[in-house]
Structures are given as structure tokens and as C-alpha cells.
Structure 1
Amino acid sequence: MRKSLWVGMAFAALLAGCASKGVYESDAVVTETFTVNTNYEAAFRRAGEYVRTCHVQVQHAYNVAYAWRHVKGEKGAPDEVQLYKVSEPAKVLELISAESASPSTSKVTVTVLGEGRWDAAEIAAAKTSIQSATPVCRKGGEG
């Protein structure tokens, strides 16, 4: 019994090590950087609101569920919003970072996986949402 438990744990650890990191490893990522006329903390809050409104708090086809995490930037790195499927937490599908460009403007970078619904239309929706301070979900296509 113990041996099978250890074998199962070792197998799970092996599979976890092979998991894709999504936007961090893909060659197909699509990225856009733009300026927002607000401080970086407000831009970051807007990014979180967009992700919650358009992905996390929405019923998706096939009962796909998304979640997000806030990763605090260390040593000058920007804070990040990472969006992932609940069933695949290691695979980041969308990454939004915000950093200060000046006291009243921010530089926001949106990176998506570049596969399926994670494309330029997703970036356009995120950009519109963050710049307008109102979540605007992409038109067409389920996620």
C-alpha cells in the first residue's frame, strides 16, 4: 500500500514537471504594450476587474472554469495578473502587467497564448477595458 502511494506521488510530481507554462514557453504568444492615463495601481485594478468580469465570473462552454492570481513584482519587476484554467493552474493563458511610466500614466503589457481564443481580439478587449476603466468583453467566441 505504501509503495503504491509513493509511486503515485512520484508519477504526479513527474507530470507536474512536464506541464506547460503557457505564455512563458510558447513561441506563438501575442503581446501588446500600451499607455494608460492613470497611475499603475489603478491600471492594475482595472486589469483584475477585466479578468474577473470577462473570464472568472462567467459561465463558459463545457464547464470550463478560469481563475486568476496576482503576482507581486519583486525588485522593480511589474505586478502581474495571471489567468489560467482551474484544471491547469501551471499554464498561464493571459498575462497582464502594469508599471509606472510617469506619476499619472502607466505602461501596460498584455500577453496571450496565441492559440484559440487567446489572440489579438482578446488583447483588444483587455486594452479597451483597461483604458476605459469599464470591462468590455471580446465579441463572439466562447472561452
Structure 2
Amino acid sequence: MSLIDQLKEQMKVAMRAKQKVRLGTIRMALAAIKQIEVDTRESLNDEQAVAVLTKMVKQRRDSIAQYAAAGRDDLASVETEEIQVLGEFLPQPLTEEEIVALVEASIVEMGASSMADMGKVMGSLKPKVMGRADMAAIGAMIRAKLK
């Protein structure tokens, strides 16, 4: 079953169970996916849908930081719940050891030796870690290894 089909099925389950936050989050995710499909005039595959969900999680993490700085813990808790719901549909996150191994293998594979090669390494890693790791953290790790 595709990710979009899973989202639609879980939306029905959330409706029947009257889970408002879960239902709202899933509807928001489906709407974001549908918007991209309408804009590009093509159906998204699972990899592209994961990218949309990953972007939504990142936006919520940014919002949580802003809400916490403003002392709005009530809004931050709503965003946290939404992250938990979205996380159910994302692939399992990579462990720190797995990330380090992937980064090192990619550096060797690309023959990277300086910061000028960072883009090549990031490009080779992105499809492998999409939705499973924070690209900013991976970028920092690559930067540290290529200095």
C-alpha cells in the first residue's frame, strides 16, 4: 500500500475514532501532497510524499522552537502532537552509527577530499537518508570530515 493510501486509510480510522488532532494532521498532510500534485500536474510517488512529510515535520520543529521562546507551551504541545502523528508515516530514523557509516562510505565513494566536494557527497546521500535523518546534521558531519 502506498504512503498516500495509508494516509487516507488512517484518516478514515481517525474519523471513526473521533481523534481530532490526528485527523487534522493527516488531512493537512494529504492537502499538502494534493497541492503539490495539482501544481506539478503529476501524482507523487512514496519518496516524494516522504519528502513532503519530512518538510512538514521540520516546519513544526521550527514552530516549536519559536513557541517555546515566546512562552507558548500550549501551542508547542499541539505541534509536538502533530510531529508524532506525521512520524508514524515516515521511515524509521537512522541511528547515529548508521549515519556516520553512510557519510564515510559516501565520502570514499565520491572521492571527496575538500569542501569543494561537499555538494557531491550531499547529493549522493540525500536519496539514502530522505526522511530518516536531519540533512543539516549530516551537512555538519560532512563539513567536519572534509576539513
State TM-score, norm by structure 1.
0.29
Where is the strand percentage greater, Structure 1 or Structure 2? 1
State the TM-score, normalized to the length of structure 2: 0.28
Say which structure is richer in helix.
2
Larger RCO, structure (CA 8 Å, separation 6 or more): 1
